[in-house]
A = this chain, B = another copy of it.
């Protein structure tokens, strides 16, 4: 696999420069080699300072975001679509400027609980917006990955099959999928098979438990997940994600409906997740090798 990372919201709600820098330090301290930030508004943070800190700590930066409702590129309002495209283009550049390697998340729609079915027009508008953003991302040397999330966080792309069709419709070779075990546990008929169907189109991977708490503190059977990542020879980043009401970000906590403290102390959480993921991957490798040895 590629680098093992952790979402910054394990460490901080992300409201202050100090918080973000602490998150970078904690990430490095725990031996993770990449961090995921939510979209960082350039006017609010000293991105250059963050970039240097990340580099000095040898921690790579990825950025994820979801569009706000008034910049939804999967709608039919031209102004909103234009606003969404601009936001995506700005985000790509911010990722580039911070020295990040990817932009991911719910880039193709609002990150919200919708209250109507998606439309064909909305799909087309979204495909076009992502195709344009992909051009910019490609030119900027930034990977573009679309997060497939559960029905309560978008109405457009809830499954890998939908994501693959969407990418095909963009005609771009620069768009990949961003899969997440928490969401797959709700939406996919067979998460491992979904990973295998994504194959080389898988560009980013989130490991999260069914209740978004500690790994192992839920119902997900991670064995076939890791087996499938090996089956497709996945070499890109794997990032641990967990949310608790113990660390609150105004918008993300609401969008993700984080009402419970599944944990209060993030240091043991992060330490546990690293061992859990590394062991699970080593055990998957062993199963593969044992199965192959006559």
Contact = CB atoms under 8 A, between A and B. Distances in A.
B151 A286 contact: no
A283 B210 contact: no
A155 interface: yes
Interface stretch (A1-9, A136-144, A185-193): A185-193
Nearest to A162: B294
A283 B152 CA distance: 26
Given A218-B189, A279-B276, A259 B158 contact: yes
Interface in A223-275: 223-224, 227, 231, 245, 254, 257-260, 262, 272, 275
A287 B186 contact: no
Q: Which bucket holds chain A's interface residue count?
A: 35 or more
Contact of A286 (B216, B260, B291): B216
A288 B117 CA distance: 24
A248 B230 CA distance: 33
Given A193-B287, A287-B193, A186 B210 contact: yes
Q: How many copies does the complex hold?
A: 4
B214 A186 contact: no
A184 B150 CA distance: 15
Given A189-B211, A254-B116, A291 B160 contact: yes
Interface of A: 113-118, 150-152, 155, 158-162, 164-166, 185-194, 197, 210-211, 213-214, 216-221, 223-224, 227, 231, 245, 254, 257-260, 262, 272, 275-276, 279, 282-283, 286-288, 290-294
Given A158-B259, A188-B219, A193-B231, 17 more contacts: A114-B259, A117-B245, A151-B258, A161-B292, A188-B218, A188-B291, A189-B213, A189-B217, A189-B286, A189-B290, A190-B219, A190-B291, A191-B219, A193-B287, A216-B223, A219-B221, A272-B282
22 contacts: A113-B152, A114-B257, A114-B259, A151-B257, A151-B259, A152-B257, A155-B259, A158-B259, A159-B294, A161-B291, A164-B294, A186-B186, A188-B218, A197-B291, A213-B290, A214-B283, A216-B283, A216-B286, A217-B290, A219-B219, A221-B221, A275-B279
